[in-house]
Amino acid sequence: MKGISFDIVVSLITGIFVCLIVLPMFALFTSTSLGELANQFKSPYVLASFLISLETSLAVVFLALCLGVPTAYLLGVKKFKGKEIIDTLIDLPICMPPLVAGLALLILLGGNSGFGNLLSNQGIDLIFSKKGIIIAQLFVSTPFLIKSAREAFESIDQNVINASLTLGASKFYTFKKVLLPLAKNGIYAGMVMTWARALGEFGATSMVAGCVPFKTETMTVAIYQNAMSGEMDSSVAIALVLIVFSFTSLFIFKSRLRGQIALS
C-alpha cells in the first residue's frame, strides 16, 4: 500500500472511532434545551452530587498519591521475591467488575464481619458514608496511578540512581531529588487517570455507600437514579456537567504536560 493511501485508511479508521465517542455526547447535548439545563444547574440536588463527586474524587487522588507512589517505587526500582504476585494483585481491581469490588468491600466493612465490627466499635462507620465512597473509589482507581508511576520509575536509568548514591546521597535524598522529579510526568498522568476513574466510578460506590441524596449520591449514582425514575432532565444535566468538567480538566492537564515535555 502506498504511503498516502495508507494514511487515508488510518485517518478513516480514527474518524470512525472519534464518531463513536462524539455521537453519543452529541445526542446527550441535543436531548435538552439550554433553559432547562440552566434550571437544572441551579438545583441544589445537582450541585450537591457535583460537590460530593468532586470532594471524594480529590480525596481519592490525594490518598492514592500517598499509597501509590511508594508502591510504584518499590515495584519499579527494587528487585525482590514475590514482586510479580504483588504486581498482579495490584492490577486485579482494574480487571475486577466494580460491583464485585463493591460487594467485597461491603462484606469486609459491614457490621457482620469481624473487621467491620472492630471499626464500628471504634466509632468508624464506613458503609453508607462519604468515607465509604472514598474507600470504594480508592480500591478501583489507585492501580491506575500505580501502573503509570511504576512505568515512570522503571524508565529511569539505574546508573542515574547509582550516580546519586555514589555522590553521597541517601536513598531518601535520591528519591526526593532524582526519582520523584524524573517520574513526575508519569505520576501526574496516573493522578489524572485515577481522578477520572474515581469521578466516573459507579458500581463499587453504589454498593458501599448506597445512594442517599445530599449525602452519598455522587454524580454517576445520581445519573442512574434519575434515569431510572424518569427524571431525564436532571440525569442529562448531571451527565453534561460530568462530561464538560472531565473534558476541560483533561485537556488542560494534557496541554500543560505536553508543554513540560517539550521544554525538557
Partner 1 sequence: MGVVLKKISKNYNGRTALKDLDLEVSRGEFHVLLGPNGAGKTTVLSVIAGLTKQDKGTVMVGGRNANGLPPEKRKIGFVFQDYALFPHLSVFDNIAYGLRVRRLKETEIARKIDYYLARVNIEKEKNKYPHQLSGGQKQNVALIRAIVTEPEILLLDEPMSDLDAPAREKTGQELKNFQQEMGITTICVTHDQDEAFSLGDRVSVLNEGKIEQIEAPHDLFYHPKTEFVARFVGAKNILKARIIKIQQHEAIVYINNECLVQPFKIRVKKYPIFEKGKEISLCIHPEKIVLKKPNEAVGNNLNRIRGKIVNKRSNGKTLRATIDIGGTEIHAAIPKALFDFRIHENVWVCFAPDAPHPLCGKRCRADEAGRRCLNEIRSIRS
Which residue in 11, 14, 170, 229 binds partner 1 (CB under 8 A)?
170
Q: Measured from the CB atom, is 26 or 173 closer to partner 1?
A: 173
Distance between CA atoms of 41 and 30, rounded to whole angstroms? 16
Told to check if 58 binds partner 1 by CB under 8 A, we report no
Among the candidate windows 49-57, 93-101, 170-178, 186-194, which touches partner 1 by CB under 8 A?
Answer: 170-178
- Site pattern 148..167 for partner 1 (x: CB under 8 A): ---------x-xx-xxxxxx
Which one, 255 or 260, has the nearer CB to partner 1? 260
Length of the chain counted residue by residue: 264
d(CA 43, CA 236): 13
The least CB distance from residue 185 to partner 1, in Å, is 11
- By beta-carbon proximity to partner 1, the closer residue of 170 and 248 is 170
257 interacts with partner 1 by CB under 8 A: no
CB of 173 to partner 1, least distance (A): 6
Scan for cell 468532586, then name that residue. 54
Given the complex with partner 1, which of 34 and 263 has the nearer CB atom?
A: 263
Within 8 A by CB and 6+ apart from 192, the residues are 249, 250, 253
* Sign of the Cα pseudo-torsion (232, 238, 244, 250, in order): negative
How many angstroms separate the CA atoms of 199 and 55, rounded?
10
Task: Indicate the Cα dihedral angle 81, 83, 85, 89, nearest 10°.
Answer: 150
Min dist CB 66 to partner 1, Å, is 23
Q: Give the number of other Cβ atoms within 10 Å of residue 114's Cβ.
A: 8
Nearer Cβ to partner 1 (54/180): 180
We find the least distance from the C-beta atom of residue 146 to partner 1, in angstroms, to be 22
Least distance CB 69 / partner 1 (angstroms) = 17
Residues near partner 1 (CB under 8 A), total: 18
Minimum distance from residue 116 beta carbon to partner 1 (Å):
44
CA-angle at 54, arms to 252 and 187, nearest 5° = 50
* Cell digits of residue 187: 505520576
Smaller CB separation from partner 1, 30 or 264 = 264
Judge whether 142 and 62 are in contact, CB under 8 Å. Answer: no
For residue 169, state whether it binds partner 1 (rule: CB under 8 A). yes
* Helices 83-95 and 44-77: angle between axes, nearest 10 degrees: 160
**Interacting residues with partner 1 (CB under 8 A):** 157, 159-160, 162-170, 173, 177-178, 181-182, 264
